[in-house]
Structure 1
Amino acid sequence: MQRGRKLFGLIVTVSIAAIMTSACSNSGKSVEKNKAADSGAPLAPVTLTFFTHGNSIVLAETIESLVQKKFPHVTLKTIKDGKGTTIFDILNGGQTPDLISYSLGSLQDLRTLRLLGDLTPLIQKHRFDLGRLAPGVVDTVKSYSDKGEFLLMPFELNNNAIYYNKNIFDNFGVPYPKDGMTWEDMFNIAKKVTRTDNGVQYKGFQYNALNVVYKDQLAQGFVDPKTNKASINTDAWKQWLDVMTSFYKIDGNAQAGDEKVNFLKNQTVAMRTGPNYITELPAAMEAGLNVDFVSLPRFNGMSGSSSQMNAPFYVIPPSTPHKDTAFQVIAFLMSDEVQTIMARQGRIPIINSENVKKEYAKDLKGLDGKNLAAFFQDAIAKPVPTTAYDGQAKSIFTNAALVPVYQGKKDINTALREAEEQINKYIESEMKK
């Protein structure tokens, strides 16, 4: 963020210049293009600069190919986030993308750089049916704006499930986990499969820390939008920490190493949750992993498993002269056709289509007969009020509260108090900039 602040003046200048240029140079072009389209004449070639960031980078080539087939007149010039090609680098070089794919954890970057624009006029103009999206998506997206604007279009879900290693359960004669469990049920099962066998320490349950924080199953929020003060030192967060850190207090189940490596490669973890890496399972299964899935557990008192949405998304910067074309590309990528292609590759569809859901992971070898329905039981909860400071607040909560507590370095009350102080200091410093 410090880097973004230093570049902010230059970036804003570049953005304003782009807006002015596009306004002057394109005032008559859109009419001509519409006339060409109406007359059946070939559409004028359009090149869209497409910036992609996060896990969606791996989709770049697939998206380019799909768009080229659907829109022969459109060329995607893809820029992948990396060293020397961050969004800050691109803007500082005088270029503003026409279409951006980004991850939710870095949403504030785009907000700071003024790359977010309300998509509502484009949604209405192109008659895009928001009712096609999964329940909870629209309300969540609108919660990112004080005005209820539709600033971004999520393109896939990151629903969580419990992956479990059937071989470990079979080895120890322990029944498999089931759908619809509570975290307390999970704790009891984890104790039974945390064992040492032939010198190998098997761990009952591990998770990706930041991911479970982002899921925020108790829907408590991290910063009060009315006061811009941290709001984590509460009874609800104490309950959450007590439950989620209890697993690592099981003798032999202390967190050690990367849960992904331990589950996929070392195959010493009985159950795990976190980011969905189902696309990597076929290779692990060839190496002996016998995997299946059950739904993400819920907290006592919850009617089902529901979490805050954590989805990658598309945005169209306000300065692009190609808003309509960029939105048509987005609409196509949200179509049943493309969502089915992505679903078959292991991407959880963002649209509420049973037919598309049935295609989930069908192109991945070895997953026939698995409980893939478990991924669709992680519903989107009612969104909590958001602030510009949430991303960093979640990171501080993870590193200053969750991790120290499950490592046994701090008690829950101390961890929450100190994490809250860190968040407030961060907010104060940001407000002074």
Structure 2
Amino acid sequence: MEKGKQLGKWAAALVSVTLLAGVLSACSGGNDSSAEKRVLRIGVLYGSADNESYTRQQYTDTYEYTHKNIDIEIVSAIDYNDTRFETPDPNGVVKQPDPYEEMTKMLTGDNPVDVIIFGYDYLKRLTQDNMLKQLDPLIAQDKFDIADYVPTVIDGIKTAGDNNIYALTPSFSSSALYYNKSMFTEAGVDFPTDGMTWDQVFDLARLVSKGDGEERQFGLTMNRWGSDAYSDLMTYSAPLGLKKWDDKLEKMTVNEPGWQAVWEKIAGIYKDHISPTQEDMQAFYNKLNQPNGDGSYYYNPIGNDLFLNGRVAMTIGEYNYTNEIKTTMDNASKIKDFKPFEWDVVTPPTHAEAPGVGNVYLSDLMGINANAQNADDAWDFIKFTNSKEWAELKSRSMTELSARQEFIKPRDGLNFNIKAFTTLKPIPPQSVDLNKQYMENPRLYEAEQPAYNLFQEVLQGTKTVPEALAAWETEGNKILTDIKNNPTGSGVGIAKPGIRY
């Protein structure tokens, strides 16, 4: 989320909220300014005193505006400033605070928070550790209407809560497969459809790819800017839940059929230039940056966006990309050599082994601390921020989608398959908390480092996939042994910035 843009949207929302104050107040029990002041403590994972205004604008100002008897305190589990001014470790190995451990301190300390705002990755663990109050009885008691919630949101919440609801969220973000209708029509290929598998999308991508060198048109990118092949491999494999090492961190688990199938598939679309390699991207950049006749360089307002530049037929993008495309099309006449095109979206491709699972993000989950000192106001706050009235106001945002289906509609005259963003479920949490593993073992990233260079060797044809995975297994096992014997010492791996976990 782009913080600057989001602040502007919420500032505008606060101006308009005066028109809705009466309705919003009514939906959560009224505004008794004569009642005794009460404190509602709301916890967030990361923050600091100097950026508290952002948290308040994002979550709490409107509630306080309509509830004069409530004072809200914002509490951060991890304060940015605690590490901001520290001298870097000379060995480059810094043990960061464990986010979950810090959250539990905030929930169980002498003065615990009442509400916790957190991301989906922590929901399963918080419920298993009995840190959250179950919301189902409160929803039933107050007849709080959740019937029109997007199924993917409620299903995702229940999946992590043993089929119970322990948190709610007013919004969510997700991705869809964008496609250039013009490129498909020119190639005589049928448009993509909802519910396609990765294999089906790869087959379509091959059919619409054409040309050579600087003129090459590609079938698919995992994002509109293009990326390195190893990052795409990690994105592609995420829903499959494949593990790189065993739960005890004693041996690598990469030299197995599941990983081999993933490596073969992604290597294939790069070797065949269905997706652009780094060399393909460089050729595109070189052409884009050719000087004009007078030696000056033409400014391209859409930059290196492969999809908008008409160089890729399909790309995966989040919901707010629809706004970027509309803005570009509206200003097409101002962009040199730009050719407007028709576009639409379908559901992102999924794996046959993990049907219905994809890139859905529930980053603003709100739950009640099981140890809350003010559980009644905590529930009132959650009802308020998840109400239909608040959803209508929230739906003005162009960066996220409302969790209530009623308010999910294309804006500004756009006409596209918006349901594509509301179909898939979040990737289920793994049995072991990967974030915790990395926090407790600062050098663990070294066991993944060999994979990057080995995958490049596969792309270059100097190693087969089985040979590369066997080498990764061997190198990774040595690193795991070294980490066990020397958990905080200097590593034996070769650093590769930007690797995804």
- Matched with 1:372 is 418
Tell me, yes or no, if the aligned pair for 2:208 and 2:218 is still in contact at 8 Å: yes
Q: Distance in 2 between matches of 1:212 and 1:180?
A: 21
Matched, 1:311 2:362: yes
Would you say how many aligned residue pairs link Structure 1 and Structure 2?
377
Q: Is the 8 A contact 1:405 1:411 kept in 2?
A: no
Equivalences for 1:8-23 in 2 at 5 Å? Answer: none
Q: CA RMSD in A?
A: 5.4
Are residue 63 (structure 1) and residue 59 (structure 2) matched?
Answer: yes
Structure 1 residue 189, shift from structure 2 partner:
2.1
Q: Relative to structure 1, is the Cα distance of residues 417 and 61 closer, same or farther in structure 2, using a 3 angstrom cutoff?
A: same
Structure 1 residue 190 corresponds to structure 2 residue 205: yes
User: Cα gap change, 1:60/1:432 in structure 2, threshold over 3 Å: closer, same or farther?
Assistant: same
Say which SS state the counterpart of residue 205 (structure 1) adopts.
strand
CA–CA separation in structure 2 for the residues paired with 1:45 and 1:431: 47
Deviations 1:69-111 (A, max 9, x none): 55343455668999638897x989x998765544456x59x98
Matched position secondary structure for 2:240: coil
1:417 aligns with 2:464: no
Percent identity between matched residues is 18
Query: 1:412, 1:226 → 2: CA distance?
Result: 26
Q: Does 1:137 align with 2:156?
A: yes
| Counterpart for residue 35 of structure 2 | 42
Alpha-carbon distance change, 298 to 426 in structure 1, aligned in 2, over 3 angstroms? farther
1:118 aligns with 2:106: no
Asked if residue 235 in structure 1 is aligned to residue 296 in structure 2, the reply is no
Counterpart of 1:140, as a letter, is: T
- Once the two structures are TM-superposed, the CA of residue 204 in structure 1 deviates from its matched residue by 1.8
2:169, 2:386 within 8 Å by CA — same for their partners in 1? no
* 1:135-214 to 2 correspondences below 5 Å: 136-142=155-161, 153=168, 156-170=171-185, 172-196=187-211, 199-208=214-223, 209=231, 213=235
1:272 aligns with 2:323: no
1:22 corresponds to: none
Q: Which residue of 2 aligns with 1:73?
A: 69
Secondary structure at the counterpart of residue 365 of structure 1 = coil
- From 300, 303, 327, the equivalent of 1:283 is 327
Contact 1:157 1:311 (8 Å CA) reproduced: yes
Instruction: Name structure 2 gaps, 5 residues minimum.
Output: 1-29, 48-52, 85-96, 224-230, 286-301, 333-339, 490-501
* Cα pair distance change 1:284/1:422, threshold 3 Å: farther
Supply the AA of the counterpart residue of 2:275. N
Instruction: Output the CA distance in 1 between the equivalents of 2:233 and 2:82.
Output: 26
Secondary structure of 2:313 counterpart = strand
1:357 partnered with 2:384 = no
1:229-252, CA deviations, whole angstroms, 9 ceiling, x for partnerless residues?
A: 654443223223332443222226
Q: TM-score, normalised by structure 2?
A: 0.56
Distance in 2, Cα, partners of 1:401 & 1:248 = 16
| Cα distance, 1:286 vs structure 2 | 3.0
2:455 aligns with: 405
**Match of 1:46, SS?**
strand
Cα distance in 1 between the residues matched to 2:182 and 2:217: 11
Q: 2:377 aligns with which of 304, 317, 325?
A: 325
Higher alpha-carbon Rg: 2
**Distance in 2 separating the partners of 1:403 and 1:349:** 41
Going from structure 1 to structure 2, the CA distance change for 1:61 and 1:412 (only over 3 Å counts) comes to farther
Contact 1:140/1:383, CA 8 A, preserved across alignment: no
CA shift, 1:205, in A, is 0.9
CA contact (8 A) 1:97 1:317 kept: yes
Shift in CA distance, 178/404, structure 1 to aligned 2, threshold 3 Å: farther
Name the SS for the 1:186 alignment partner.
helix
1:293 to 345, 351, 363: 345
Q: Give the whole-Å Cα distance in 1 for the aligned partners of 2:485 and 2:380.
A: 40
Offset of 1:267 from its aligned partner?
A: 4.7
Matched to 1:246, the amino acid is G
In the alignment, residue 397 of structure 2 is paired with which amino acid? Q
Opposite residue 344 of structure 2, the aligned amino acid is D
1:21-40 alignment runs, 5 A limit: none
Residue 226 of structure 2 is matched in structure 1 by none
* Corresponding residue number in structure 1 for 2:240: 218
TM-score by length of 1: 0.63
Whether contact under 8 Å (1:231, 1:420) holds in the other structure is no
